[in-house]
Amino acid sequence: MNREALYLSLLLLSLACHRNPPSNRQTAKPAEISFARYASGFEVEVCSGYSLLHVYNPWQNSQGVSFSYVLSEDPGLVPDSLSHLLYIQTPVHRVITLSTTHVAMIDQLGKQATIKGISGSGFIYLPELRNRLEEGKVSDVGYDQGLSYESIVALQPDVLFMYGVEGSVLASAQKLAELDVPVVFCGDYLEAHPLGKAEWIRFFARFYKREKEADYFFNRIDSLYHAHKTLAARAREQPLVLTGLPWKDTWYMAGGNSFAARFIEDAGGRYLWSDHPSSQAVPMDLESVYARAVNAQVWINPGAAASLDHLRKFDERFKNLAVLQSGRVYNNNARLNTSGGNDYWESGAVRPDLVLQDLIKVFHPDLMTDHSFIYYRQLK
């Protein structure tokens, strides 16, 4: 058994004994399955008096991994046959979240005040939450391997929404389970469709009993997104699009089936790596990227670049790129706080319709003459 499999088996064993509802005589009844429209990482079974939430493969390269959680306002309505699963009484009132996208979803549900702990305060953009951090009403519980278990336990959360990039996150979840902290895995960041990521608001809504509000919001975002996608399809030409920036001599390029690639396609652009089958970032050397980049007509999301001159100095070869010479370079960092927190990775996750409008204006400004950039800005 490899290390990841061992951690997973230990975690499941811990969760089997963690916060189970009192024994009762209820028996499981047929469930109504609420399938996600775009998201592939979660599924909801709505039963009489309780819900079952299933989360699938919540970190990169995970396969065949799933977690299930029982949510109910009354533990007496949960059948004994589910006593091995983590039980969470709803609505929750005290939560810890380790991702900024979760902050945006909880805020959109009108439940920002329930957030008692976050991870990496510098990454938070939401002004109200930053104020609560400064007032000591919200705690920073650390980041990645530097989580403060003492702080987490002291906050007594009803649930901690876990985010992790690799399987090593299981070690943190195991430790938290041993400390009687209810951990729920979330893999929203892995969704390949922008609307799939936004649809996780329906997942979070279950913890707050705000399902109707979440469905209304998401249906509206879905309609707006497709209306603008239809608009972009009217464009006569589709510019070739380059994305990203190298990191330590490696260019992590979004795959052709990724979240970024879908945004470009739906906004009426042609992604230079649309032929790559991956849905995740693919490490590439600068030479192979440059060979295609010479054909780019638009460059988006160039990392931390703040100006065109920044890019010219980054690599001498960039000066020869036609896209840099034309000035059609746009970064998704128009909304930053003083600590570098970027609202694109926060509210942008739940408003893909607004991100799409920005990108259509980048690719086809004649189609969006009345739109002002929200998350994007043109580098000068």
292 pLDDT more than 60: yes
197 and 340 fall within a common domain: no
33 and 162 fall within a common domain: yes
What's the domain range around 265?
A: 234-378
pLDDT > 90: what percent of the chain? 84
Residue 256: per-residue pLDDT: 96
End residue of a domain, out of 170, 191, 220: 220
57 and 19 fall within a common domain: yes
Residue positions counted in the chain: 380
Q: For 207-247, how does the pLDDT look when each residue is reduced to its tens digit (9 = 90+)?
A: 999 999 999 999 999 999 999 999 999 999 999 999 999 99
201 and 261 fall within a common domain: no
- Is 225 part of a structural domain of the chain? no
Give Cα 302 distance to the centre of its chain: 20
Average pLDDT of the chain is 92
Where do the DSSP E strands lie in 210-328?
A: 240-243, 250-254, 270-271, 281-285, 298-300
As to burial, measured by CB atoms within 10 angstroms (0-12 exposed, 13-18 middle, 19+ buried), residue 171 is: middle
177 and 239 fall within a common domain: no
Pairing, β 250-254 against β 281-285: antiparallel
Q: For 319-374, how does the pLDDT look when each residue is reduced to its tens digit (9 = 90+)?
A: 999 999 999 999 999 999 988 899 999 999 999 999 999 999 999 999 999 999 99
114 pLDDT more than 90: yes
Q: For 126-149, how does the pLDDT look when each residue is reduced to its tens digit (9 = 90+)?
A: 999 999 999 999 999 998 888 999
The rounded distance, in Å, linking the Cα atoms of 44 and 69 is 10
Residue 241, phi then psi, degrees to nearest 5: -120, 130
Contact 229, 356 (CB under 8 A): yes
Q: For 7-18, how does the pLDDT look when each residue is reduced to its tens digit (9 = 90+)?
A: 454 454 444 434
- Is 249 part of a structural domain of the chain? yes
User: How many domains does the structure of the chain reveal?
Assistant: 2
CATH number of the domain encompassing residue 259: 3.40.50.1980
Contact 79, 85 (CB under 8 A): no
303 pLDDT more than 50: yes
